[in-house]
Amino acid sequence: MLNSYYSTLTSKGQATIPAPIRKTMGIKPGEKLVFQDNGQVVTVKTHSQLVHELAGSLKPKVKVKYSDRKADKAVEQFVVREYLKYHGKTP
């Protein structure tokens, strides 16, 4: 079932995520969000969702104890590097 919600974009490029979507996704104030654009559809995920999707997909060079906090930081750094590369800027 497709539910539609509307939000108005401000002059600063900001929009409010409707409360039902925030509740469904478990988005809390201050949480980092990841926007993925495949050219046709933009997907919004929480930073934590992305980390959990990627968990186990990479083989570390050394054995380390898994930590959500460390994984969040690593994914954040990766996303920033990819964003900067895509926009022709150097990190």
Is 7 among the domain residues? no
The tens digit of pLDDT for each residue in 54-70 reads 777 766 676 667 778 88
pLDDT score at 15: 93
Contact assessment for residue 32 and residue 46, using Cβ atoms and an 8 Å cutoff: yes
Instruction: Quickly tell me which residue has 């750094």 as its tokens.
Output: 77
Q: What is the pLDDT of residue 64?
A: 63
Structure confidence at residue 5 (pLDDT)? 92
What digits encode the pLDDT tens for the residues 16-29?
999 999 998 889 99
Dihedral sign, Cα of residue 70, residue 72, residue 75, residue 79: negative
Q: Which helix (H) or strand (E) holds 33?
A: strand 33-37
Distance CA 45, CA 69 (A): 17
Question: What is the separation of C-alpha 87 from the centre of its chain, rounded to a whole number of angstroms?
Answer: 17
More confident residue, 7 or 51: 7
pTM above 0.85, yes or no: no
The tokens 């590097």 sit on which residue?
Answer: 81
- Mean pLDDT value across residues 41-66: 76
Residue 48 domain-assigned (yes or no): yes
Range of the domain at 38: 28-86
Residue 60 lies in a domain: yes
